[in-house]
């Protein structure tokens, strides 16, 4: 019994290390986009990623053929959604870094845009994960894309426009 | 702009140099994950112990109180003097 337990632990450690080596880069990229931090200084994104990976590690033996990457991404998304809700309008805690490409968007727009376009999660799955309807996800994605493209084409007018619109 | 072009443009905007992954993320995740597993195991053990204690307590109570035995009637006064 003890021997089986130990062998399972070593196998889990080995598999998890390989998984982290393969997936951490992409997940950290997604997390940095979510938190809208600069790629060189991203403590919030690292913390999100560490917690998501820790949960994946803890549920490793019960995955039963489920994709661990999918599991980690779900954790990342739901944890970010919960955290963004708490920090909404906080005292400059979650102020986006101007160097981030998604800085002009709200946290929810960033989350949906990253899940849909960067990670390629389906519309229905995104909606189910976040507890929204698929139409709402499509609308938010569309709005976020419009904001981004409009801003990237003429940054000067976009800045004044985003400042003028009441949030 | 069509939908696919828009999506491609947004994807290009989001592509940036991937941030370097610090090596301590793996060790930290393993440490936290191990702690989570230990806590879960502990909680499971405590719950099993509680369930076992409840079963033992119930058995002892049932054997001493014998709730299935009809209690002796004490509303009718005993018949004496026949």
pLDDT digits (tens, 9 = 90+) for A94-153: 567 777 778 888 888 999 999 998 898 999 999 999 999 999 999 999 999 888 888 777
Kindly state whether A22 is in contact with chain B, defined as any CB-CB distance less than 8 angstroms: no
Going by C-alpha positions, the residue among A71, A140, A80, A151 that lies closest to residue A112 is: A140
Nearest-by-Cβ selection for A149 from B6, B22, B37: B6
Containing A102, the helix (H) or strand (E) segment is: none
| Measured distance CA(A34)–CA(B21) in Å, rounded | 16
pLDDT at residue A94 in the model: 57
- Band of pLDDT at residue B58, cut at 50, 70 and 90: very high
| Measured distance CA(B8)–CA(A145) in Å, rounded | 10
CB A137 within 8 A of CB A127: yes
- Band of pLDDT at residue A2, cut at 50, 70 and 90: confident
Q: What is the ipTM of this complex?
A: 0.75
pLDDT at residue A154 in the model: 62
pLDDT at residue B39 in the model: 96
Kindly state whether A135 is in contact with chain B, defined as any CB-CB distance less than 8 angstroms: no
Kindly state whether B13 is in contact with chain A, defined as any CB-CB distance less than 8 angstroms: yes
- Band of pLDDT at residue A160, cut at 50, 70 and 90: very low
Contacts of residue B28, defined as CB under 8 A and 6 or more positions apart, other chains included, come to A50, A54
Going by C-alpha positions, the residue among A18, A96, A90 that lies closest to residue A60 is: A18
Kindly state whether A30 is in contact with chain B, defined as any CB-CB distance less than 8 angstroms: no
- Kindly list the residues from chain A whose CB atom is less than 8 angstroms away from the CB atom of residue B10: 113, 117, 145, 148-149
| Measured distance CA(A134)–CA(A116) in Å, rounded | 12
Kindly state whether A145 is in contact with chain B, defined as any CB-CB distance less than 8 angstroms: yes
| Measured distance CA(A134)–CA(A158) in Å, rounded | 28
The DSSP letter of residue A90 is -
- Kindly list the residues from chain A whose CB atom is less than 8 angstroms away from the CB atom of residue B29: 20, 50, 53-54, 56-57
Kindly state whether A26 is in contact with chain B, defined as any CB-CB distance less than 8 angstroms: yes
pLDDT at residue A149 in the model: 86
% of chain A with per-residue pLDDT over 70: 83
A17 with B18: Cβ contact below 8 A: no
Candidate from A120-129, B59-68, B73-82 with smallest mean pLDDT:
B73-82
- Band of pLDDT at residue A64, cut at 50, 70 and 90: confident
For residue B1, give how far its alpha carbon lies from the nearest alpha carbon of chain A (Å): 10
Measure the CA angle with vertex B78, ends B76 and B82; round to 5°: 125
pLDDT, mean of residues A19-36: 91
Residue ranges and CATH numbers for the domains of chain A are 2-164 (1.20.140.160)
Q: Is A38 helix (H, G, I), strand (E, B) or coil?
A: strand
For residue A106, give how far its alpha carbon lies from the nearest alpha carbon of chain B (Å): 15
| Measured distance CA(A126)–CA(B68) in Å, rounded | 57
- Kindly list the residues from chain B whose CB atom is less than 8 angstroms away from the CB atom of residue A58: 33, 36-37, 40
Distances in Å between the Cα of A146 and the Cα atoms of A15, A73, B11 are 41, 25, 13
The torsion angle over the Cα atoms of residues A113, A115, A121 and A125, rounded to 10 degrees, is: -100
**Chain CA centroid to CA A35, Å:** 8
Q: Please determine, for residue A161, whether its predicted confidence score (pLDDT) is greater than 80.
A: no
- Kindly list the residues from chain A whose CB atom is less than 8 angstroms away from the CB atom of residue B22: 46
- Band of pLDDT at residue A35, cut at 50, 70 and 90: confident
A148 with B10: Cβ contact below 8 A: yes
**pLDDT tens-digit map of B25-57:** 999 999 999 999 999 999 999 999 999 999 999
- The residue among A77 and A1 whose pLDDT is bigger is A77
- Kindly list the residues from chain B whose CB atom is less than 8 angstroms away from the CB atom of residue A152: 9, 13
Q: Is A152 helix (H, G, I), strand (E, B) or coil?
A: helix
Rounded to two decimals, what is the model's pTM?
0.78
């Amino acid at each position: 019994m003890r021997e089986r337990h130990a062998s399972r632990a070593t196998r889990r450690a080995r598999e998890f290390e390989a998984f982290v080596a393969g997936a951490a880069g992409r997940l950290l990229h997604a997390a940095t986009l979510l938190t809208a931090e600069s790629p060189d200084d991203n403590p919030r994104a690292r913390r999100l990623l560490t917690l998501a990976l820790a949960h994946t590690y803890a549920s490793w033996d019960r995955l039963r053929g489920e994709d661990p990457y999918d599991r980690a991404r779900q954790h990342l998304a739901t944890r970010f959604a919960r955290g963004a809700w708490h920090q909404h309008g906080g005292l400059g805690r979650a102020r986006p870094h101007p160097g981030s490409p998604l800085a002009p968007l709200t946290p929810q727009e960033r989350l949906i845009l990253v899940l849909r376009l960067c990670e390629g999660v389906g519309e229905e799955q995104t909606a189910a994960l976040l507890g929204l309807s698929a139409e709402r996800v499509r609308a938010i994605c569309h709005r976020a894309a419009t904001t981004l493209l409009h801003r990237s084409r003429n940054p000067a007018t976009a800045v004044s426009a985003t400042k003028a619109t009441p949030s | 702009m069509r939908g696919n072009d828009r999506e491609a443009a947004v994807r290009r905007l989001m592509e940036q140099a991937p941030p370097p992954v610090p090596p301590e993320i793996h060790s930290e995740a393993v440490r936290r994950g191990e702690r989570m597993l230990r806590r879960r195991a502990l909680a499971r053990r405590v719950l099993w112990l509680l369930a076992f204690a409840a079963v033992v307590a119930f058995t002892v109570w049932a054997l001493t109180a014998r709730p299935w035995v009809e209690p002796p009637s004490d509303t009718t006064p005993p018949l004496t003097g026949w």
